[in-house]
Chains A and B, each alone.
Chain A
Amino acid sequence: MGTVELARRAWVVQVMGLPVSVHLRGPDVRTDAVAARVERLFAELREVDATFSTYRPESVLGRLGGRMPDPATAAPAVREVVELCELARARTGGRFDARRLPLPSGGVGFDPSGLVKGWAIGRAARWLGDLPDHDLCLNAGGDVLLRTGADRPGWRVGIEDPDRPGRLLDVLTRHDGAVATSGTARRGAHIVDPRTGRPATALRSVTVAGPDLLWADVYATAAVARGADALDWLATLDGHEALLVDAAGRVGATPGWPGR
């Protein structure tokens, strides 16, 4: 109330198979300099896709056909992703496991896509990270990264109801960090429990809010794979809070969830 309305501008590009939207608030959003930085961000995401997409036979991952890249010989970015996938497997008790996933080309193999999106968005956001007096809200297919300057209002993040797209379960106001949602709402059961090799169906969606998009997204995906005891596990994650909907439509949240 009473605050001056900040200029706001959005850009949307389809990249990595997703709609990626960038919203900026601040005095310079109409300038060519800011638009050029946004373009660099999208260009970097296209490069990431050209390297990591398992849908492209000519990409680094596509050429490997499901084999894990050798960290000893891989390019630095590829090595970083392989190492992060291993860290994610350790941090999730094996519920996030990029090594044995169904591949677009058929068969089972290494597919880091579930981690690459969050990694790439967090990394590309640096093109807009040093703009003083500007706030950033970046949404990649439903996963959100936020940055807000001091003394400015946070971003209002609606959490979508997985059973009724377009309706909201909750609204969070956040200044920084990330909000990531994984689930089965949009594409059917597409999260596989690595322990069984079968689609995880106990949870409809899991939303995780935390400091970092990569980890919020990994934890949300791992929680869907985990199923019934996901909420207890999510509550053990320092600095993260979660909201979930189970297959019966019941809504649950970790004790520190801010929206309820």
Chain B
Amino acid sequence: MRRITGWLLCTVAALVLLFSYKTSTMGPGGGISAIAAGADDTGGDPGTTGRPGSAATSDSGSTRSGSAAGAGRYDGSVAQTRWGPVQVRITASGGKITGIDALQVPDGNFRDRQINDYAVPILRQEALAAQSAEIDTVSGATVTSDGYRESLQAAIDAAHLR
């Protein structure tokens, strides 16, 4: 379980780095943004214990909430990027990512919105690419031949076609 939790936290960190990279390389000047490393301890649902001792995530730069080990929501720390604060939340079940959302993105002006429109979908794609290695197949409403090429199943198949 510690291994799974660690993997999730690495993913949170990697996603924040990715986001920072995309935003900083798209802007003029190309300055490298600083990543805040401290934990953001404001998450955690009322009514849950927040972090059971066995999960031991509180010292790793993320906040975990939820009832079962390997499940729940993991909030990344707030990263100060060139364009403003960025924070992501990963939803996990059974030790696997089931969703990823940007909790905070810079939205001060038109250019920032453009950046977010571009970067947030990439965030999700990267998370799913990382996750697809952890599932063997995908069940979903009928995939036609046309839709297959962009599907997660196609990515899984491609990894094993030899």
The reply to whether B153 and A139 form a contact with Cβ atoms under 8 Å apart is yes
For residue B90, give the distance in angstroms from its CB to the closest CB of chain A.
12
The reply to whether B93 and A159 form a contact with Cβ atoms under 8 Å apart is no
Q: Kindly identify which residue among A158, A187, A260 contacts B135, using a CB–CB cutoff of 8 Å.
A: A158
Specify which chain B residues have a CB less than 8 angstroms from the CB of A170 in the assembled complex.
93, 98
Nearest-CB residue, chain A, relative to B145: A14
Does B154 make an interface contact (CB < 8 A)? yes
Do A162 and B139 contact each other (CB < 8 Å), given the known contacts A19-B154, A167-B99, A170-B93? no
A205 to B143, CA, bound (A): 13
The reply to whether A184 and B141 form a contact with Cβ atoms under 8 Å apart is yes
Do A185 and B93 contact each other (CB < 8 Å), given the known contacts A11-B161, A165-B151? no
Do A144 and B151 contact each other (CB < 8 Å), given the known contacts A8-B160, A18-B144? no
A57 to B131, CA, bound (A): 43
The reply to whether A142 and B142 form a contact with Cβ atoms under 8 Å apart is yes
Q: Kindly identify which residue among A8, A139, A186 contacts B138, using a CB–CB cutoff of 8 Å.
A: A139
Does B148 make an interface contact (CB < 8 A)? yes
Does A67 make an interface contact (CB < 8 A)? no
For chain B, the bracket of interface size reads 35 or more
Give chain A's interface secondary structure class: strand
Do A137 and B136 contact each other (CB < 8 Å), given the known contacts A169-B98, A184-B141? yes
Specify which chain B residues have a CB less than 8 angstroms from the CB of A260 in the assembled complex.
93
Specify which chain B residues have a CB less than 8 angstroms from the CB of A8 in the assembled complex.
160
Do A159 and B140 contact each other (CB < 8 Å), given the known contacts A21-B153, A21-B157, A166-B125? yes
Does B53 make an interface contact (CB < 8 A)? no
Does B152 make an interface contact (CB < 8 A)? yes
The reply to whether B98 and A141 form a contact with Cβ atoms under 8 Å apart is no
Specify which chain A residues have a CB less than 8 angstroms from the CB of B125 in the assembled complex.
166
Specify which chain B residues have a CB less than 8 angstroms from the CB of A237 in the assembled complex.
none
Q: Kindly identify which residue among A12, A156, A157, A181 contacts B141, using a CB–CB cutoff of 8 Å.
A: A181
Does A44 make an interface contact (CB < 8 A)? no
The reply to whether B137 and A157 form a contact with Cβ atoms under 8 Å apart is yes
Which of A160, A168, A173 lies at the interface centre, i.e. has the most chain B CB atoms within 10 A of its CB? A168
The reply to whether A18 and B142 form a contact with Cβ atoms under 8 Å apart is yes
Do A167 and B98 contact each other (CB < 8 Å), given the known contacts A14-B145, A17-B145, A19-B154? yes
Specify which chain A residues have a CB less than 8 angstroms from the CB of B97 in the assembled complex.
168
Nearest-CB residue, chain B, relative to A155: B136
Chain A 9-30 interface 0/1 with B at a Cβ cutoff of 8 Å (1 = within): 1111010011101010000000
A155 to B131, CA, bound (A): 15
Segment 17-59 of A: residues with Cβ below 8 Å from B? 17-19, 21, 23
Does A180 make an interface contact (CB < 8 A)? yes
Which of B124, B139, B145, B151 lies at the interface centre, i.e. has the most chain A CB atoms within 10 A of its CB? B139
A212 to B131, CA, bound (A): 28
Does A182 make an interface contact (CB < 8 A)? yes
Does A193 make an interface contact (CB < 8 A)? no
A215 to B124, CA, bound (A): 34
Contacts A9-B162, A142-B153, A158-B137 known; 7 new A-B pairs at CB < 8 A: A10-B159, A18-B143, A19-B145, A142-B142, A157-B138, A158-B152, A171-B94
Which residues of B are at the interface with A, using a C-beta cutoff of 8 A?
A: 93-94, 96-100, 124-125, 128, 131, 134-145, 147-148, 151-154, 156-157, 159-162
- What are some 6 contacts across the A-B interface (CB < 8 A)? A12-B157, A17-B144, A21-B153, A139-B137, A166-B125, A168-B131
